Amino acid sequence: MSLVVDSFLIGGVALELVGAGVLAHAHNAESIVALREEIGAEGTALGEPDAVATHATLLAEKRVGFVLLTVGLVFSLVGLVADSAKHVMLMSGLAAVTVLVGIIASIGVTRILGNRYQGQARKARDSSGADELPEQ
């Protein structure tokens, strides 16, 4: 059992590191594109034909990075739950409930903030004040 637990923990942490690296690369490339757009150059990354292709590539990199982070965290969580040999069922239930509550809370906060930002954007559009748009 110890080899399985260690495999989940080590594999999970390794996937988290890879996911973080992919996200870091995407963030750096996005920053370079933004800087190039500010100085008047075309907003493309090296090797991409245009700005749309650059943004599509960066979005794909971010998605892959987040998927790798998620899978890595799941592996780590499974390893930690399996490591608590005395109370595996209790720890499994606790982990599942905690993940479920986190998902529900994130959906709720996203909807509340999304509605707030949409309202501010509508108000700014109606008053033609582009400076009043909410910051991202």
Dihedral sign (CA 14, 19, 20, 26): positive
pLDDT digits (tens, 9 = 90+) for 39-71: 766 656 656 667 777 777 878 888 888 888 888
Closest C-alpha to 8, from 57, 78, 58: 78
pLDDT digits (tens, 9 = 90+) for 66-104: 888 888 888 888 888 888 767 778 888 888 888 888 889
